[in-house]
Structure formats: C-alpha cells, structure tokens
Amino acid sequence: MYIIHVASECAPVAKVGGLADVVSGLAWEHSIRGNDVEIILPKYDCMRYDQVWGLTNSYNDLWVPWFGGAVHCSVWFGEVHGRKCYFIDPHSNDNFFNRGTFYGCRDDVMRYAFFCKAALEFILKSGKQPDIIHCHDWQAGLLPVMLAEIYQHHGLWRQRVCYTIHNFKHQGIFGHDILAATGLGRPEHFFSPTQLRDDHNPSVLNCMKGGVVYSNFVTTVSPKHAWEARHSNQSHGLGGTLHVHQGKFGGVLNGVDYNAWNPELDGFLPARYGINNVDDKYKNKDALRDRFWLYKSEKPIISYIGRLDEQKGLDLICHAAHYALAHGAQFILLGSASNHAIHNQFAHLRNQLGQSVDCHIELGFNEELSHLIYAGSDMVIVPSVFEPCGLTQLIALRYGTVPIVRSVGGLADTVFDKDYSDVDLGMRNGFTFNDLNNAGLESAMSRAISLYYDYKEVFRHIMLNGMKADYSWNHPGAHYMNIYEMIKHK
C-alpha cells in the first residue's frame, strides 16, 4: 500500500512531543511491512538538519494557490533514519516556517492551512497517487476538507484519509480569512454546524472538526481516551461531533519505536542492559548522578520527563519533587515549557531545590539526556490531568523504570497497579492513582518508595514485568493496516 503521512512533527528531526514519535514509529513499522511510506513536513528553520540525510531540492516549481495569487515553494527530500521525508519550503514574505520555533505564533492556523494546501498541491503536481493520506492533529485537519472540496476534482479522487487526534486540547480555530486564503470560500457552507462550525462558538470554524467530519476514519491514541472523548469533557467540545461520527471513530494505542528506545542498543547510554543483565542499569544510575552531581546513596531516583503544560499536572509534579525529597528519594526533572509563566514556576522550583544533593531540575528539551534519565532512574511520575496515550510511561517500562501514573487515558490502558489492578500478577508493572490531588499522588508514591526499600525482590519483579511487555509498533501497526484496508475499499 502507498501511504503518505502529513504532520507537523516527526522524530527526531522536528519534535515537540509524542506526535513526533508516533509519526516516525508508525511510518517505520509500515515500511518494514513492505508498504511504500512517505512523510510530508514543513521545512522549519529550527529543525534538526543533522538528522536528515541527503537533503536535496526535489521539486522546485510548486506554485500553491493562496488568496488571489500563488506562493512559490520548493520541496526538499531527505531521509530521516530511513524514513522518506518531503519538506515544504515556501518562498514568501510570511516566512511561515522560518520562525525559530515550531508553534506558538499568532498566525499558526494560517501557517498550517498553508501547509495542508501545499502538501495536496505537491501530491497532485508530482503525480503521486497514494492509497492513504494519514493526517495528524489539528495542523493537518484541513487537508481532508480541501481534498474533498477541491483536489478530488483535479485528480485526487482515489485517496482515502485516516485522521489521528493526538491531543484534543488544541483544535485550530479560525475564521473567514482562511476560507479565502485556501480557496475553500463558501462561508455559508462551511459555517454550517454539520461542517466546520465550532460546536461552542458559532462565529468561528474548527480545523479538528474538519478533520473528523471529512476523513474516512478517525482515531485517537488509546481506547480509554476514545471512550473519554465520547463520554466526558475530554474532547474539549468535540463530543457532539464524535457522537455523530461514532461509526468511523476508535482508539488505537500508540506503540514505541524500539529501534530508538531500547536499553540493549541505546547509543546514548554508558551501559546497555536488558532483562538478562538488568543490574547494568545501575551503571547508568551512577552516570546520571555524576552528570548532575547528585549524592550516591541507596536512595531511588524518581524522575519527570515531559512537556511542562497544564495537561501534565504541574502542581502535582512540583509536589512530587518535594514529596520525593522528604521521603528518602532523589528527584530529577527534564522539561520544557512553551509558556513563560510555567517556565518561571519551574525556574522557581529549581532555585528552591537546586542546591540539594538529591535533586536536579533541567529546563529545556534534550533528547539525548532523556535517554540517560529513563535508564538511570528507578521510577518516573506521570500525574497528568488528561493523557491521550502518553509515551513517557511506555518508554520507562522498556527501560525497567517503574511508572507512577494517574489512571487516565492511555496511562490507564498501559500501567497496571502492583496492588490494586485486576490483571494477572505477571502483568502488573507500576503504581496508579485516581484522585487529581496531593493525597492521590502520595498514595502511589509512598507505596512505590516503600516497596523499593522494603521488598527489593518484588520491586524487581515489577520492573521486569514492564520490560517484558510488548509496546512496540507491531500491534498498532497491524491495527492501522486493517483500518487502511477497510477505508480503501469504501
């Protein structure tokens, strides 16, 4: 099958969060199954050019209709660890992708509307005839809309779209200007409640709703989160639309790319290890302590790795730091915030705790360092308010690092409490809590810390259970192939 992913991120070349890992992991899984897989991305100035091999200008004369005129683009081709990637490079004064940042610009919706239009124009003009276009998150939500409303009438009529929602929180809200820019026009049509009109604010349109309405199949990234999206407020207002389109909506649990995340092969680790030599994990713990000048003792290291965003339970992350230090554990945080107030909150925490020989707070994005922290820590915490899937806990499991998580979304689908789960003992792999407050978090952290000190063998069983579980792309890859097959024949 010929599959093209259209996304705003792909690991490791343009990565902000889990979306990047999913695009890269799923593309790889499908290509090793013998499919022809390509990825279309923006050509950001801030992407990691050192991760692209053989970047060449592959299509120089792409003119993308835009407002009354057209924007000249070049399309570059390069391989990202074996994945075939095309990068859209517009030449216009808007400098859509030369902002020194991936997101956070006032015209983000305009930037990605342009990206969708350019991706379709490129597919059309280069004569590509993919079977499936797999679109991701709000940034690619307008692609199926433009495919159905414009491009199918120019020759792209065979293509079927699978749309994956990685995070309902950001939906891409816009108005008349984007209808004019993209050539979709017809506000009276698109402002209909069955089309793109936002379900809460009738004066605006919604990219993600467009993705849901116009795609042939819609997924989110775990079965539990698919349920939450339909039956609670976790779809951030899209529940009604999902209800209408429930027949083409489901949850597929993300996988982890075990080529990138495998402690037996990980080139970023001073000591590689697996189930058979798990004690070598502790050489990484030593190296991690050396790197941050942490005191060497029998204490466990509890870490947080992830974006610093309200979604992640910021107050609970701060509380976890204080609680860990007060209860015989060390604490490490690696996180980046796109919001200044949040950055300052954690800079303050760093000032408060940074002098401790048991604590290190690292603010910023650092892929290489994240590998050492996953390997060198004993536990990670993920106290999210909501979590569509969550990769942190899946990576941690592979590295024998016991997850302590709030039982929501994909965290509930993948972490099974040592004491209170209903799965077999051999599958119990971490600690969970429900209540979104300090008492809830403490109930899980205290059990984890006590087990670490008092029942070392049981703690090791929990670690090994996690390492044995298969959260590779094998199962989700097969699941997505079934979805593609199903919609291809519709």
Residues that bind ligand ADP (CB under 6 A): 17-19, 21, 305-307, 334-336, 365-367, 370, 389-392
Structure tokens at 243: 């209800």
382: left (phi over 0), alpha (psi -120 to 50) or beta: beta
CA-CA distance, 210 to 207, in Å (whole number)?
Answer: 5
Kindly state the smallest distance separating residue 157's Cβ from ligand ADP, in Å: 34
CA-CA distance, 8 to 102, in Å (whole number)?
Answer: 8
Nearer to ligand ADP, 306 or 313 (CB): 306
Nearer to ligand ADP, 18 or 210 (CB): 18
Cβ–Cβ < 8 Å for 342, 371: no
Which 8-state DSSP code applies to residue 474? H
Nearer to ligand ADP, 367 or 470 (CB): 367
Kindly state the smallest distance separating residue 114's Cβ from ligand ADP, in Å: 24
Residue type, 465: N
Which residues partner with 277 through β-bridges? none
384-227-14 Cα angle (round to 5):
55
Residue type, 270: P
Nearer to ligand ADP, 137 or 198 (CB): 137
Kindly state the smallest distance separating residue 164's Cβ from ligand ADP, in Å: 12
Kindly state the smallest distance separating residue 38's Cβ from ligand ADP, in Å: 23
Nearer to ligand ADP, 90 or 390 (CB): 390
Q: Strands 53-66 and 69-80, how do they pair?
A: antiparallel
Nearer to ligand ADP, 64 or 385 (CB): 385
Kindly state the smallest distance separating residue 150's Cβ from ligand ADP, in Å: 31
Kindly state the smallest distance separating residue 383's Cβ from ligand ADP, in Å: 12
Kindly state the smallest distance separating residue 21's Cβ from ligand ADP, in Å: 5
**3-state secondary structure string, 262-281?**
CCCCCCCCCCCCCHHHHHHH
User: Can you give the C-alpha Rg of the chain in angstroms?
Assistant: 23
Helix (H/G/I), strand (E/B), else coil: 378: coil
CA-CA distance, 143 to 148, in Å (whole number)?
Answer: 9
CA-CA distance, 205 to 191, in Å (whole number)?
Answer: 7
Nearer to ligand ADP, 151 or 304 (CB): 304
Angle at which helix 367-376 crosses helix 281-292, to 10 degrees, equals 120
Kindly state the smallest distance separating residue 317's Cβ from ligand ADP, in Å: 12
Kindly state the smallest distance separating residue 101's Cβ from ligand ADP, in Å: 15
Question: What would the DSSP string read from start to end of 107-171?
Answer: THHHHHHHHHHHHHHHHHHTT---SEEEEETGGGTHHHHHHHHTGGGGT--S-EEEEEES-TT--
Instruction: List CB contacts of 256: < 8 A, sequence separation 6 or more.
Output: 21, 25, 391, 394, 395, 398, 471, 472, 473
Residue with tokens 């790197």: 291
Nearer to ligand ADP, 149 or 309 (CB): 309
Kindly state the smallest distance separating residue 410's Cβ from ligand ADP, in Å: 8
CA-CA distance, 295 to 286, in Å (whole number)?
Answer: 10
Cβ–Cβ < 8 Å for 190, 198: no
Helix (H/G/I), strand (E/B), else coil: 427: helix
Nearer to ligand ADP, 180 or 363 (CB): 363
Nearer to ligand ADP, 324 or 389 (CB): 389
